[in-house]
Amino acid sequence: MLLEGKVAIITGSGRGVGKAMAELFVKEGAKVVINDVDGDVAEETAEAIKAAGGEAVPSVTTVDTMEGGEAVAKAAMDAFGKIDCLVNNAGILRDKSFPKMTEDEWDSVMNVHAKGHFCCSKAVIQPMRDAGGGSIINVTSTTGLAGRFGQVNYAAGKAAILGFTRCLAIEMAKYNIRVNVVAPSALTRMTESIPGADLSTMPGPGMNAALFTWLASDATKDLTGQIFHSGGEEVSLWSHPERIVVCYNSGGWTTDDLINKFQPRLAGKDSRGYPQGI
């Protein structure tokens, strides 16, 4: 019972990856808040968990407002009296090539992903501090890590979550609150809508649940600020951005110096067309 006695909030957990997480969390001993904007699926998932002998309550609210984040936290505190873990899993897609993308398609995706992480995390920090610590698990995407055609808004939101995770991990360390981020790959209603996606290679939602459960547990109490990917048979740890080509020029740089001294150091490109350096 890896999560025995713990209380977890999982946003966007009425279906898909979030639901699979909730089911495994409960099997490992946790009590869970099932958050979703669709009240029917939130209620259905919570009732199914209770019917199987677990403890769960639904929370029907969006996550992209402070009121929404506070409502999710309140559901946990009212039902179970504490919060040990938050998984910021809620997400949406509004895919469109950039020239055709509307302001609303940009704003809605950025709000749910970037602002949603802010609102929900802000709401759980004090309860976690009161409890002596906790785990926040953010959710990014390989689109945020490496890019993908037609998902500029989604990539921007998911990349923002990487910076959010790094900074929050630094700030929360003194409170024993660890903050990590996962990029899951799974076949869900969201991924089925991605134009040109190879759905045949995508694993089921349940294939990601173990990694999230591990990160929610005390087994990872000293692990923070890290980027993970999971999907199918693969689990990986990703590197943080680092300088790959560094040059110094006495007295500073001119454009001629950049062309003659720096540019030659960029010879060679990797599989994505980025400079390999030397």
By three-state DSSP, how is residue 230 classified? strand
Residue with tokens 């000293």: 222
Residue 206, burial from CB neighbour count under 10 angstroms (0-12, 13-18, 19+)? middle
Spatial distance between the Cα atoms of 68 and 61, rounded to a whole number of angstroms: 6
Residues in the chain: 278
By three-state DSSP, how is residue 188 classified? coil
- Residue 184 — left, alpha, or beta (φ > 0 → left; ψ -120 to 50 → alpha)? beta
Other CB atoms within a 10 A radius of the CB of residue 87 amount to 29
Active site residue 154: yes
- Encoding tokens for residue 50? 């209770």
- Encoding tokens for residue 12? 């966007």
Spatial distance between the Cα atoms of 205 and 168, rounded to a whole number of angstroms: 27
- Encoding tokens for residue 106? 């940009």
Which of 68, 86, 90 has the alpha carbon at shortest distance from 30? 86
For residue 111, CA distances in Å to 11, 193, 251 come to 14, 20, 44
Whether the CA torsion 222, 224, 227, 230 is positive or negative: it is positive
By three-state DSSP, how is residue 44 classified? helix
- Encoding tokens for residue 180? 């990590």
Residues acting as catalytic residues: 154
